[in-house]
């Protein structure tokens, strides 16, 4: 993600200077809420299906100290695999400060390979892979389609939060209201406003 090169043109708007800026914190909290709601939906969905079996029914099939074999674990784990990928895709830097995503070849290759591998694990992985990850077999293709729809919805909402909601003026105004920010704290912004309001600027030569 950090291998993207800087953009060829400078913009007047500078990026936020602090990692603990309220907008950054809000972004993290909103993404956490989105991820939690999708995982909770996946967790509850399998319990409503006719083919559902409780976790206790898998104990006799696997001789493990800790039993992670269950349909709940299968659905939440696959959803979380995609969520790791989608979060990086939503949070990767681009315009106006860095070049577009597709110019970062290393990231694009890793993104494609990790997505394909996760799709393979989600549909019908080999038995030894399921044993390593301690996953039960996928019950049917209806379940696969459900997870696919869930992951695409997760991607759409995560991208909308990061690319449209967080940079919007609504979030900036909300941040200023929460911080009770009535005036600019940076000296250069005061100078900039004064110049905008100065009818003699720029000077005529």
Distance CA 124, CA 126 (A): 7
Give the pLDDT mean for 157-173.
73
The beta strands (E) that lie in the chain are given as none
The per-residue pLDDT for range 120-153, each reduced to its tens digit, is 988 888 888 888 888 888 888 888 898 889 999 9
Tokens of 159: 């991208």
15-24, 54-63, 170-179: which range is least confident on average?
Answer: 170-179
Distance CA 92, CA 170 (A): 22
Question: What is the rounded average pLDDT for all residues in the chain?
Answer: 80
Higher pLDDT, residue 202 or 61: 202
Q: Decide if 39 contacts 80 (C-beta within 8 A).
A: yes
Q: Report how far apart, in Å, the C-alpha atoms of 42 and of each of 49, 67, 73, 75, 173 are.
A: 12, 19, 9, 6, 35
Q: Answer whether residue 167 shows pLDDT above 80.
A: no
Higher pLDDT, residue 35 or 163: 35
pLDDT at residue 35, as a whole number: 92
Q: Answer whether residue 79 shows pLDDT above 90.
A: yes
Give the pLDDT mean for 82-109.
85
Shortest CA distance to 90 belongs to which of 171, 174, 38, 164?
Answer: 164
| Helix/strand/coil for 168 | coil
Highest mean pLDDT among 43-57, 103-117, 136-150, 186-200: 103-117
pTM: 0.74
Question: Where does the pLDDT of residue 175 fall: very low under 50, low under 70, confident under 90, or very high at 90 and above?
Answer: low
Distance CA 178, CA 184 (A): 15
Distance CA 78, CA 83 (A): 9
Work out the percent of the chain whose per-residue pLDDT is above 90: 22
């Amino acid at each position: 993600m950090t291998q993207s090169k800087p953009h060829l043109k400078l913009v007047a708007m500078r990026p936020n200077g602090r990692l603990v800026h309220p907008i950054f914190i809000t972004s993290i909290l909103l993404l956490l809420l989105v991820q939690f709601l999708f995982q909770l939906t996946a967790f509850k969905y399998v319990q409503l299906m006719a083919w559902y079996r409780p976790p206790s029914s898998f104990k006799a099939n696997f001789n493990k100290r800790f039993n992670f074999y269950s349909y709940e674990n299968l659905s939440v784990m696959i959803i979380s695999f995609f969520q790791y990928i989608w979060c990086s895709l939503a949070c990767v830097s681009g315009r106006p400060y860095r070049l577009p995503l597709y110019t970062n070849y290393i990231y694009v290759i890793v993104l494609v390979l990790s997505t394909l591998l996760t799709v393979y694990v989600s549909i019908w992985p080999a038995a030894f892979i399921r044993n390593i990850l301690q996953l039960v077999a996928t019950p049917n293709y209806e379940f696969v389609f459900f997870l696919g729809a869930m992951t695409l919805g997760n991607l759409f909402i995560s991208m909308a939060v990061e690319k449209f909601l967080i940079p919007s003026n609504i979030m900036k105004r909300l941040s200023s209201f929460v911080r009770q920010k009535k005036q600019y704290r940076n000296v250069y912004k005061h100078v900039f406003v004064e110049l905008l309001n100065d009818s003699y600027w720029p000077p005529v030569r």
